[in-house]
């Protein structure tokens, strides 16, 4: 379902089909709740060992450049190529302290990078079986690459916490042509209703003790009297 359609459904259900012109329930607020609900339900899925479908993942091309940092992790510094993303990457969803990244590869898919935790880098150079493999690690929201063979761009296929961050990625010129609201919301069809239900529950709870102006006059009306 498109983002705009999902927002409109929540707005309609919340307002019981009548949206006041001066309602404080904005599309942005609804969207933020939809994202948090989706992430929460996704983690519940993962906790039951249910694999996520491709609907949750997004391909993002990122530019990389040579980096002088972390050269000491290479057993052969003269031939070791360390690169990093030019921009910080959008937030990637985390489950049990692991990033939900399906793969990071070269643009043609021929080279796949293996993940290594930043704290384990010190062991890399001493492992003769893995020292020449392609690796990536994330530090301060930048991705670093080991043995990147002087690549200029790579593809990251990941479940981003907020798909709009990926769609409007600063290093991606294509985002200027994207209508965010017309993009598909990153979830499965059978999760739409649970996400809407949880979002409405959170919104009603949040505004249940707040006065909201539901009519186009100068008087406030109590939210609980209108739902």
The string of pLDDT tens digits covering residues 56-111 is: 999 999 999 988 776 665 554 544 678 899 999 999 999 999 999 999 999 999 99
Which pLDDT value is given to residue 66?
86
Residue located via tokens 């043995």: 147
Model's pTM, two decimal places? 0.80
Which pLDDT value is given to residue 174?
56
pLDDT of the chain, 227 residues: tens digit per residue: 999 999 999 998 888 744 554 456 889 999 999 999 999 999 999 999 999 999 999 999 999 998 877 666 555 454 467 889 999 999 999 999 999 999 999 999 999 999 988 888 777 765 555 556 888 999 999 999 988 777 899 999 999 999 999 988 866 555 566 788 999 999 999 999 999 999 999 988 887 655 554 455 544 443 334 33
Distance, in Å, from the CA atom of 124 to the CA atom of 72, rounded to the nearest integer, reads: 10
56: its two tokens: 């949750």
Distance, in Å, from the CA atom of 2 to the CA atom of 18, rounded to the nearest integer, reads: 21
Rg (CA), the chain: 22
Distance, in Å, from the CA atom of 74 to the CA atom of 165, rounded to the nearest integer, reads: 33
Distant-in-sequence, close-in-space partners of 42: CB < 8 Å, separation ≥ 6? 52, 56, 93, 159, 187
Which pLDDT value is given to residue 18?
44
Distant-in-sequence, close-in-space partners of 205: CB < 8 Å, separation ≥ 6? none
**Domain boundaries defined on the chain:** 3-53+186-225, 58-180
């Amino acid at each position: 379902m498109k983002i705009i359609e999902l927002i409109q459904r929540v707005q309609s259900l919340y307002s019981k089909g009548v949206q006041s012109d001066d309602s404080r329930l904005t599309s942005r607020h609804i969207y933020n709740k939809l994202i948090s609900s989706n992430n929460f339900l996704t983690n519940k899925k993962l906790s039951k060992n249910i694999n996520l479908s491709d609907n949750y993942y997004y391909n993002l091309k990122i530019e990389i450049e040579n980096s002088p940092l972390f050269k000491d992790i290479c057993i052969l510094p003269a031939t070791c190529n360390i690169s990093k993303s030019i921009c910080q990457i959008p937030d990637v969803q985390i489950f049990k302290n692991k990033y939900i990244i399906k793969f990071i590869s070269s643009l043609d898919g021929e080279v796949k990078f293996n993940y290594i935790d930043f704290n384990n880098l010190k062991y890399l150079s001493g492992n003769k079986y893995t020292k020449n493999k392609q690796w990536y690690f994330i530090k301060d929201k930048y991705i670093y690459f080991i043995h990147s063979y002087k690549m200029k761009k790579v593809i990251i296929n990941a479940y981003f916490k907020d798909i709009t961050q990926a769609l409007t990625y600063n290093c991606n010129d294509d985002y200027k042509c994207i209508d965010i609201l017309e993009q598909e919301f990153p979830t499965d069809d059978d999760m739409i209703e649970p996400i809407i239900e949880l979002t409405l529950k959170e919104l009603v709870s949040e505004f249940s003790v707040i006065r909201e102006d539901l009519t186009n006059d100068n008087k406030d009306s109590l939210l609980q009297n209108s739902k």
